[in-house]
Amino acid sequence: MSAAGLVRGGSRGLKSTLRAVGIARVLLRHRLDELLESTVFGRWLWLLRPITPAHDGETGLPRGQRLRLALQELGPIFVKFGQVLSTRRDLLPPDIAEELTLLQDRVAPFPGEQAQTLIEAALGKPIAAVYTEFDLTPLASASIAQVHAARLHDGREVVVKVLRPGIRRQIRADVELLRTLASLADRHHPAADKIRPQEVVSEIEATLHAELDLQREGANASLMRRTWLGSDELYVPEVFWDYSTETVLTMERVRGIPSDDIAALDAAGIDRKLLAARGVRVFYTQVFRDNFFHADAHAGNIWVDATRPDNPRFIAIDFGIVGQLDRRDQYYLAENFMAIFQRDYRRIAELHIEAGWMPGHIRIDELEAATRAVCEPYFTRPLSEISLGEVLVKLFKTAQRYELTLQPQLILLQKTLLNIEGVGRLLDPKLDIWAEARPVLEKILRERYSPQTLGSEFRKRLPELITHAPDMPRLLHDFLALQVRGQHTLNMRSEDLAELARISKAGQRQTVYAILGTGLMVVAAVLVGLDAGGPRLLGIPAAAGIAGLGAFGAFLAAWPRR
């Protein structure tokens, strides 16, 4: 390495060391060394404690509040880290998780003239060529970006969001420091296997990098607007792509009342009861119909349209964090909710294992009993007092004792559900979330798995099925030939191996049914696709009969074998 490279590397190392010492002193001033007293960090911090006085008046504050104040003192990036960590209720104690949700992402603005220079560089033209008006005083300033009001040449009012200067470099440096701390935690923290520090840092890093791409945020907003265009329940502002890049985002300016400002909502004559019910329906529709939900749905990002007091709707802003589930998790989550509604604890236990969230060796009866212990106390209350989000949190925490494995998106959904229910109950303390959620879920599930929807999905996949159809007879012949030659035969001796043999035989039968069923359905699809239904039997087209046999074969393949 060159001398210049060594100097740069040494400079970075010195900066990281000084930053680490600075973080340690902030933690000590807030007397947070108690959180780390059983680790190597605690012993290191103990050495600095005599020369680091505590903040006045903080000694008696709860630890969660002291941690929140420390993160705010550490700066905007650590505020964002704390907000992301607040979503990980599976890892944090409840008192700390609740306090971190109160972190406010508001920081001192950078000069408006600097924002103008950044916008001109990103768009490649003078500010006057894009906007007839541009307010140098920002409307809002956060850790990642700040927002300015402007007006387009056609007279439309817009807001312009621009990334903070140097923010990418700052985030990269702080993430590198967190990686170092996480690797130390992996080696020395007694609960490292449960906390999984590296995974937490990766999740924080992914969230922050997603928010650094304003073009991605604009795409999120654009998709959600298209989905809810013309809705009486949710309004999403328009994105102006001609004036947007990765570092600048221009959107329609909207005005509304923050959804937690009850006094302003009442003064505007808003029907809060109707609004609260709509909020619940919007959330469940986004999750289970659209599979695309606003995952940062606190009151600062969810406003109320004050121009429609008798027919109120929400206005969504800030689309940096959105959530999606894969179709499998989406299905099993919906089925879990329906099982909770019906108090079918056995079904909840079965679904957790079927979904692959838990290993198959877990005993169903034990998991059912644990689920009953979590849910049953809730049903002694009126339904209007039950939080589905709280039930879900406790279910996941209980299931962790049985080796639960959850995707980050499920945890993100859990946090969003708690936010939505909190806003709903604030608007209408008597809101029966169960009564609002259940019909939405039932309707979506009926439509999702209706014959029409399944037929539509089949038609989409028809070209792929036709492409592979010529291979089906050969595959079926090869498989049956293997069976005839006995190459799948296994001699079992122990009870466990005998059970494995039984499962294997059932699987082989189901595979045959699946191949036969798929082959017949492909033949029927080809006939229909070619408009050649062929002869009829008792008035029924042959293609329909073949498809029916194929569906019956698929049904036999799907039927569980005990």
Enzyme catalytic residues:
296
Phi-psi bin for 381: left (phi > 0), alpha (psi -120 to 50), beta?
beta
Provide the token pair at 199.
Answer: 């995974």
CA proximity to 235, closest of 312, 150, 156, 345: 312
Burial call 285-321: b when 16+ CB within 10 Å, e when fewer: bbbbeeebbbbbbbbbbbbbbbeeeeebbbbbbbbbb
Strand, coil or helix: 415: helix
CB 281 within 8 A of CB 442: no
What gap in Å lies between CA 150 and CA 518, rounded to an integer? 58
Q: Which backbone phi and psi does 249 adopt, to 5 degrees?
A: -130, 125
What gap in Å lies between CA 218 and CA 198, rounded to an integer? 30
Q: Write the CA distances from 303 to 254, 257, 272, 491, 532, integer angstroms.
A: 9, 5, 13, 67, 55
Residues in the chain: 562
Q: In sequence order, what DSSP letters do the residues of 9-34 get, joined into one string?
A: HHHHHHHHHHHHHHHHHHHHHTT-GG
Q: In sequence order, what DSSP letters do the residues of 46-89 get, joined into one string?
A: HHHGGGSPPPTT-TTS-HHHHHHHHHHHH-HHHHHHHHHHTT-T
What gap in Å lies between CA 240 and CA 228, rounded to an integer? 18
